[in-house]
A and B are shown apart, each in its own frame.
Chain A
Amino acid sequence: MSKARTSLSRTALVHAALIAYTLVAVFPVFLTIINSMKNRNAIFRNPMQLPTPSTFDLVGYQTVLGQGDFALYFQNSLIVTVVSIALVLLFGAMAAFALSEYRFRGNTLMGLYLALGIMIPIRLGTVAILQGMVATGLVNTLTALILVYTAQGLPLAVFILSEFMRTVSDDLKNAGRIDGLSEYSIFFRLVLPLVRPAMATVAVFTMIPIWNDLWFPLILAPSEATKTVTLGSQIFIGQFVTNWNAVLAALSLAILPVLVLYLAFSRQLIRGITSGAVK
């Protein structure tokens, strides 16, 4: 934006709107974190109050970490999320490259078919998926979750990445062909580095629903050894009594890994989101 076109009042308005939005977005997270460090009475009496010396209490964290299994739940969540993202990015990018690079009969139809999953929620197929997993003996394994999440993430990945891959210069790929690079090297060494911002965008959009999902872990992998964090936190929510300290502590802890992954991708993400609009 050029300096000449920005007036002070305009900048102030924009900032006011952005700050307001940030407050709305961050407030629930803030509330969760401060309350996770208070004792039970303080949570109910003064939910908005910051922890004071008299109300400060880490009993929630002690409960969560003391349960012992939580480290395992975290590990499960991380494995499922990271492996799913990796598979979605790999297969999504490969499919997108084929769709955008090669002319073949049925190219458009194939593209539409692969994008269909964006419009149809995968949960509609839960019963069939469960039957399939039972038949293949994958129930109560992390593999089951990874397979389902990969399928769930692929349509959007193919859709976004194929648009981005069309923007990679043909001359560059042809220069690679003349220099003797194989189609795989062209894909991995020339094209992928150039669509990195798009990959980060896809990674973030894929990651969040997987990390937060309760549905499939509950149905496909509810065993003690394969519980994810979201499912694991449910043990503190009872029909009659809910251990709020523990629930809030578990949620606060669950935010951390997502935050780390997000920060890792965010530099790329900003370029990814704006590149379509600015160019």
Chain B
Amino acid sequence: MGSLQLKSVRKSFGPVDVLKGIDLDVKDGEFVIFVGPSGCGKSTLLRIIAGLEDATSGSILIDGAEVSAVPPAKRGIAMVFQSYALYPHLSVKDNMGLGLKQAGAPKAEIEARTKKASAMLSLEKYLDRRPAELSGGQRQRVAIGRAIVREPKLFLFDEPLSNLDAALRVNTRLEIARLHRDLKATMIYVTHDQVEAMTLADKIVVLDGGVIQQVGSPMELYNRPANLFVAGFIGSPAMNFIDAGRLGRSDATTIGIRPEHMTLSRESGEWTGKIVHVEHLGADTIVYLDSEKAGLLTARLFGEHHYQTDEFVHATPNSGHLHRFNANGEAIR
């Protein structure tokens, strides 16, 4: 009851092309995350799906029906905004019920659905409060509740966690994951935070420069990035890229190796280098070294390791985890 298809959707603001032909299929019940650096067009794409912006060309189908000419309220969608966007003069209850009231639903039904949604989000205590009397986390829960009450075909989230502090962000993330399991609804979620993308998504859509770079499950993107951009964007710290020529390899232009797929040793190894900086995170130790052969490298070691800056060490890449890219930046498989 909630599939979405985008067919060569383009959007330009004057001479600036923001989206350059987006094709995408979202199946019923999928949790899809649009991720990308700022300015990549992910929010614009979401707003086009919502109907808040018109696409310059292309078509948008929700449940197989063309909706390009349908106003937002009639598309069967609900949206959660970064800034919560609660109606300041309405109580929590009325905020949640406004959409149904506008659609002319009977009072009893509005009441029942509001009750159900507020129970799901443990908001019962706050139903008569105004948004100004709530904390940031509670406001975002109300905003999510407002979306749930509408029982939409598609949930749209526009960076819903960006305004919350770190601890609340984790809690709300878990809550959204639980909601997705309980409601089995189709959700489309925009974020620039790859942790959110990796932890929540069934399918991640990586966007850059108005073009889809890769679509896949979190582990597909991590293990088999389609190009240099995706390889560098997914994973933290970012993948090391080494000029293949410097390593004497002719089967690729660039070689990529993730920091966690390298081993360090004081005795012997492939690349020798001087340690520039060490970060101790407890669970991980991140070592930055400047090697003669491969340039600046990042290695992520699990557990505590007592390396010193200016120490010489040998790094060895785990050969099964090497990524090869051609001159166009595409992965060679």
Contact = CB atoms under 8 A, between A and B. Distances in A.
A181 interface: yes
Given A190-B87, A193-B89, A194-B88, A174 B99 contact: no
B102 A181 contact: yes
Interface stretch (B74-82, B197-205, B216-224): B74-82
Task: State the majority secondary structure of interface residues on A.
Answer: helix
B87 A180 contact: no
Interface string A193-228: 110000000000000000000000000000000000
Nearest to B99: A179
Contacts of A166: none
B164 to A, nearest CB: 15
B99 A169 contact: no
Contact of A175 (B71, B85, B89): B85
A100 to B, nearest CB: 16
Interface residues of A, number: 14
Contacts, number: 56
A171 B102 contact: no
B98 A172 contact: no
Interface in B55-90: 71-74, 77-79, 81-89
Contacts of A190: 87
B52 interface: yes
Interface in A161-184: 169, 171-172, 174-181
A174 B83 contact: no
Contacts of A176: 87
Contacts of B81: 171, 174-175
A175 B88 contact: no
Given A193-B89, A194-B88, A178 B77 contact: yes
17 contacts: A169-B85, A171-B84, A171-B85, A172-B87, A174-B47, A174-B52, A174-B72, A174-B79, A174-B81, A175-B81, A176-B87, A177-B51, A178-B50, A178-B78, A180-B73, A180-B74, A181-B98
Interface of A: 169, 171-172, 174-181, 190, 193-194
Given A177-B51, A194-B88, 5 more contacts: A171-B158, A174-B79, A178-B78, A180-B102, A181-B98
